Amino acid sequence: MSVIEAPKESFRLSQLIYDTRYRSMTIQVITLALICVGIYWLVDNLLANLDNLGLEPDFGFLSSRAGYDIGQTLIEYDNSMSHGRAALVGIANTLLVAVMGCVTATIIGVLAGVLRLSKNWVISRLMAFYVEGIRNVPLLLWIVLVYAVMSEGMPQPKDFREGGDAVMFFSDSVAITNRGIYIPGPIWGENSGILIAVFIASIIGAFAYRRYAKKLLFDTGRLLPMVWPAIAMAFVPVIVAQFVLGQPVTLSYPELGGFNFKGGIQISNPLVALWIALSLYTGAFIAEIVRAGIMAVSNGQSEAAFALGMQPNRTMSLVVLPQAMRVIIPPLISQFLNLTKNSSLAIAVGYPDVRATLGGITLNQTGRALECMLLLGLFYLALSLIISFVMNLYNNSMKLKER
Amino acid sequence: MDNATAQNPSYVREEMLAQAEPPLGQKGAIKWLRDNLFSSVLNSILTIVSIWFVYYILSHIAPWFLNSIWDAGSLTECREIRDATMPAGTSAACFAVISDRWEQLLFGFYPRSEYWRPVLALVLMVVGIMPVLFQSIDRKWLVASASLPFVLFFLLWGGSVWLPIAIAMGFVLGYAVNKFGTPMLGSIGGALATVIVPLLYWIYVAGPLSGAIHSVLPIGLEFIQSKDFGGFMLSIVIGVAGIVLSLPLGIVLALGRQSDMFIVNKLSTAFIEVIRGVPLIVWLFTASLLLNYFLPPGTNFDLMLRVIIMVTLFSAAYIAEVVRGGLAALPSGQYEGANSLGLDYWQSMRLIILPQALKISIPGIVNTFIGLFKDTTLVVFIGLLDPIGLTNSIRSSTDWNGIYWELYVFIGLMFFIFCFSMGRYSLYLERKLQREHR
């Protein structure tokens, strides 16, 4: 049998296109070259434009005096501090509304999603109405609408005087006015550090107890009561400590003085409007995600659980929900991200978030549009990446362990 | 006891009994109520609470709606009519603001004599996308749909008719070069020529050519500037342009992110993550404040065009993620099957992979489109007059100072109709393309 000689390898230029071994390389080199040319063009234009304007990229403005006041400051700030500090105040405000929104949106969404699957005709229709109605109207409209309800529809502080027609809720501790919502605020007295330490320790204790009870259940089959002891362990010690230490933490109640309420905590209208609108809006999306997740668990799973003699609520918590969670968590992460990014709509109601401080007043005062927008974009990008990284870690720990 | 039973105690009924009615509690409305509303204590509480809730809301809103006043010139006139005709303390909506200002809410500051143009454009658009939306229509109408962007551009902005025709000719030119040039130049030369010839044509020939023809044969409509666009017309123009442009870009980005080629893959990933990581509002500010920095000194192009570009890039990144999900969901056997048939990359994508992947991702894609359409309201912050921006300008007139709810209800309803019907269409498409037998 004669051996056919392999044709001699000689490189021809057309191989760069027709030979799959080289073609992907060719395409990548061309793409890279085009991108480089494009970036060069943009940067070149940028430098030429900046040169014309007599500007050069400089972040020194961050340490110069800001000179403007911010309506809501979670960290210490006054107008003699720097622009960088003002940006930090804005970041804190953004994070505040994002966290508040994520918590309430999850609660609303889970409730609405589960109730929409309810056999109760009225409640499932009501939830369908809520979800479809909210989802199909722009978030911006909800924000301005809630803001208008808060500032136009709520009573003025003077209506709370004797003879006025407005009343406070929860035995005179909460007042909803057109300037914001006033709630009681804690006053941290002496020894309140001990109280906080006791509280943290008892929460850790409660989780340790749950863990122990679960381990006992899986190892020996003995079922300890889990819910009530855990709640008691978390809250009883701190209440006892509060009285033993002579009430270190007291509440200050909002009281009407002059034209406005004093004392307690004021939650300003922009924050309330943004918070409620973001929660309702994202809650509608989360409701759909939860519904889809529960429906994705096949009927056979719960039927099998019933066949094993499990109670309906244990079937839900031990069989259906753990499987539904795997479907729910990834889109839930992206909803949290969306909520965080949507919090930049604060601009509609004048809530002082990072867009309003760094990307608003600072930008206008210093004229450093390029630097401000760059920092703003980087902040949101970093926040998104961190949230998705953390949630992906959680997701990986929940994922089905396949072999 | 009679004889027969005494002798034979077993008893067999000889004729069938007539079918009995079910007990009263087991049929009809009562059974339905019991099963659906009051099956347990918790359910009964939920039912009662939600009925009370609905009643509470309706009792506040219904009179306001039913008493609404449609014919008045200002908010004060509305209140006078209400106080004159209704008992004191009645709430009444003043929808007169809608009948007074609906043109503005729909068209912005588009000249009144030219309203027929956006209306005709909308009708043409609805007719034109029918062949795309419903497969039962003859495929040859797709050619008419393809010419639609130029017709719509001409109708909305006006100017010389020859400019859109000259631009459209570039595509015809490209097609002709591809068809006749490929046999002469070979496939690579043909492909290159198909890209380069139209580009050169657009850059150097199209403008002067249309100008020259226009000076000989001036046919055209009054030119309308972008800043006169407003209201729902603006939302629809930005939304539709964004939707049409972002789908192909999104698919390309998704393919790039799934690609084995290192550089293409990393570039697509970086692009998608950067765009998605930053809120649209920041991108819009970038478009309005910064884009000029990145263009040759002295260029200044239309704000609306910049917004359309930004919105397109933004939703393309989201669509890319949705399509990537669809691509990843396909079993690898499909990819291997396409390879074993000897199809090259684009053939296998076009014929095997994308039809299935896009089918899976339809709900996500339509949701992205709905999101894009809703997000068009954000352009108010960079000075374009979308419906929400117009509410501010309506409120700033002395006639309608202090009117909120009626405008918001109207705008919300319009958006609801658009978005809800898009959502329903996606459900229809999903059902129609369902190939699994259950």
In the Cβ-directed half-sphere of A10, how many Cα atoms lie within 13 Å? 3
Among B199, B221, B243, identify where a domain stops: B221
**A261 membership: H or E segment, kind and range:** strand A260-262
Average pLDDT (B368-385) is: 90
Residues A84/A372, Cβ–Cβ less than 8 Å:
no
d(CA B377, CA B419): 13
d(CA B152, CA B241): 11
Enumerate residues 6+ apart whose C-beta is below 8 A from A161: A256
| B206 and B252, same domain (yes or no) | no
In the Cβ-directed half-sphere of B177, how many Cα atoms lie within 13 Å? 20
Nearest chain B residue to A359 by CA: give it: B282
Among B174, B199, B221, identify where a domain stops: B221
Residue B4 has pLDDT above 60, yes or no: no
Instruction: Specify the 3-state DSSP secondary structure of A78.
Output: coil
| B352 and B376, same domain (yes or no) | yes
Cross-chain Cβ contact A132/B188 below 8 Å = no
How close is the nearest chain A Cα to the Cα of B53, in Å?
A: 10
Average pLDDT (B211-224) is: 81
Cross-chain Cβ contact B380/A140 below 8 Å = yes
For residue B405, what pLDDT band results from cuts at 50, 70 and 90?
A: confident
Nearest chain A residue to B388 by CA: give it: A141
Q: Whats the size of chain A, residue-wise?
A: 403
Range of the domain at B316: 101-110+225-433
Long-range Cβ contacts of B119-125 (<8 Å, 24+ apart)? B120/B155, B121/B151, B121/B152, B121/B155, B121/B156, B122/B236, B124/B148, B124/B151, B124/B152, B124/B155, B125/B152, B125/B240
CA B434, distance to chain mean position in Å, is: 22
Of A90 and B134, which is predicted with more confidence? Answer: A90
Residue B416 has pLDDT above 90, yes or no: yes
d(CA B71, CA A339): 41
What type of residue is A185?
Answer: G
Tokens 């890209």 label which residue?
B195
**A266 membership: H or E segment, kind and range:** strand A265-268
How close is the nearest chain A Cα to the Cα of B70, in Å?
A: 22
In the Cβ-directed half-sphere of A41, how many Cα atoms lie within 13 Å? 8
Residues B167/B203, Cβ–Cβ less than 8 Å:
no
Q: Which of B37, B188, B279 sits opposite A122 (nearest CB)?
A: B37
Give pLDDT, residue B341.
Answer: 92
Angular region, A367: left φ>0, alpha ψ -120 to 50, beta rest = left
Give pLDDT, residue A238.
Answer: 80
Average pLDDT (B407-416) is: 92
Tokens 């956006």 label which residue?
B118
| B251 and B381, same domain (yes or no) | yes
Of A184 and B283, which is predicted with more confidence? Answer: B283
ipTM field: 0.85
d(CA A384, CA A389): 8
Phi and psi at B221, nearest 5°, equal -115, 165
Structure tokens at B188: 């690579």
Cross-chain Cβ contact B293/A145 below 8 Å = no
Structure tokens at A331: 């889109």
Residue B205 has pLDDT above 60, yes or no: yes
Return the CATH number at B327: 1.10.3720.10
The average confidence (pLDDT) of chain B is 85
Give pLDDT, residue B3.
Answer: 58
Do the strands A265-268 and A180-183 form a parallel or antiparallel pair, or are they unpaired? antiparallel
Q: What angle do CA B213, B219, B225 make, to 5 degrees?
A: 105
Structure tokens at B143: 């050619």
Q: Is any Cβ of chain A less than 8 angstroms from the Cβ of B411?
A: yes
| B187 and B106, same domain (yes or no) | no
| B299 and B209, same domain (yes or no) | no
Phi and psi at A131, nearest 5°, equal -65, -50
Phi and psi at A261, nearest 5°, equal -80, 145
The pLDDT tens digits of the residues spanning B94-113 come to: 888 888 888 888 888 888 88
d(CA B395, CA B94): 13
Q: Which of B43, B411, B416 sits opposite A120 (nearest CB)?
A: B43
Q: Is residue B140 domain-resident?
A: no
Residues B263/A28, Cβ–Cβ less than 8 Å:
yes
Residues pairing with B252 in the sheet: none
Instruction: Specify the 3-state DSSP secondary structure of A169.
Output: strand
Residue B437 has pLDDT above 60, yes or no: no
| B309 and B323, same domain (yes or no) | yes
**A262 membership: H or E segment, kind and range:** strand A260-262
The pLDDT tens digits of the residues spanning B146-179 come to: 888 888 888 888 878 888 888 888 888 888 888 8
CATH 1.10.3720.10 is the classification of domain A83-136+269-398: yes
Residue B2 has pLDDT above 60, yes or no: no
How many inter-chain contacts (A to B, CB under 8 Å) are there? 145
Residues 231-260 on B with a CB inside 8 Å of A are 260
For residue B281, what pLDDT band results from cuts at 50, 70 and 90?
A: very high
Q: Where do the H-state alpha helices sit in B27-140?
A: 28-36, 41-66, 75-85, 96-107, 116-133
Q: Is the dihedral of CA A73, A74, A80, A85 positive or negative?
A: negative
Q: How many CB atoms within 10 Å of residue B240?
A: 21
d(CA B312, CA A336): 23
Contacts of A132 in chain B (CB under 8 A): 420, 423
Phi and psi at A310, nearest 5°, equal -80, 150
How close is the nearest chain A Cα to the Cα of B381, in Å?
A: 8
Mean pLDDT of each 10-residue bin along chain A, 403 residues long: 64 73 82 91 87 79 82 81 88 92 94 87 90 93 90 78 69 77 79 82 88 86 79 82 76 73 80 93 94 88 91 83 85 89 90 87 85 91 88 75 56
| B83 and B195, same domain (yes or no) | no
Residues 192-231 on B with a CB inside 8 Å of A are none
For residue B52, what pLDDT band results from cuts at 50, 70 and 90?
A: very high
End-to-end CA distance of chain A: 49
d(CA B421, CA B414): 11
| B243 and B391, same domain (yes or no) | yes
Q: Is the dihedral of CA B204, B206, B207, B211 positive or negative?
A: positive
Q: Which of B279, B370, B391 sits opposite A341 (nearest CB)?
A: B279
d(CA B284, CA B306): 9
Enumerate residues 6+ apart whose C-beta is below 8 A from B290: A369, A370, A373
Residues B303/B383, Cβ–Cβ less than 8 Å:
yes
Contacts of A363 in chain B (CB under 8 A): 289
Enumerate residues 6+ apart whose C-beta is below 8 A from B135: none
Average pLDDT (B231-258) is: 91
For residue B85, what pLDDT band results from cuts at 50, 70 and 90?
A: confident
Please list the residue range(s) of chain A that carry CATH number 1.10.3720.10.
83-136+269-398
Q: Is residue B15 domain-resident?
A: no
How close is the nearest chain A Cα to the Cα of B158, in Å?
A: 30
What type of residue is B308?
Answer: I
d(CA A60, CA A37): 31
Cross-chain Cβ contact B411/A133 below 8 Å = no
| B106 and B35, same domain (yes or no) | no
Residue B31 has pLDDT above 70, yes or no: yes
Structure tokens at B282: 């920041």
Q: Is any Cβ of chain A less than 8 angstroms from the Cβ of B282?
A: yes
| B245 and B294, same domain (yes or no) | yes
The radius of gyration of chain B's CA atoms, rounded to the nearest angstrom, is 31
Cross-chain Cβ contact A373/B51 below 8 Å = no
Structure tokens at A186: 């804690």
Contacts of B404 in chain A (CB under 8 A): 148, 152
Q: Is residue B271 domain-resident?
A: yes
Q: Is residue B276 domain-resident?
A: yes
Cross-chain Cβ contact A24/B260 below 8 Å = yes
Q: How many CB atoms within 10 Å of residue B187?
A: 11
| B235 and B207, same domain (yes or no) | no
Give pLDDT, residue A80.
Answer: 82
Residue by residue, DSSP assigns A195-232 as HHHHHHHHHHHHHHHHHHHHHHHHHH------HHHHHH
Contacts of A145 in chain B (CB under 8 A): 408, 412
Do the strands A249-252 and A185-188 form a parallel or antiparallel pair, or are they unpaired? antiparallel
Give pLDDT, residue B400.
Answer: 84
Structure tokens at A51: 């040169």
| B306 and B250, same domain (yes or no) | yes
Total-model pTM: 0.85
With b meaning 16 or more CB within 10 Å and e meaning fewer, what string describes B7-30?
A: eeeeeeeeeeeeeeeeeeeeeeee
**B241 membership: H or E segment, kind and range:** helix B231-258
Q: How far is CA A390 from CA A105, A330, A384, A393, B34, in A?
A: 19, 12, 10, 5, 46
Q: Is residue B355 domain-resident?
A: yes
Give pLDDT, residue B9.
Answer: 59
Tokens 């965080």 label which residue?
A340
Q: How many domains does the structure of chain B reveal?
A: 3
Enumerate residues 6+ apart whose C-beta is below 8 A from A208: none
Residues 336-355 on B with a CB inside 8 Å of A are none
Cross-chain Cβ contact B286/A35 below 8 Å = no
Q: Is residue B10 domain-resident?
A: no
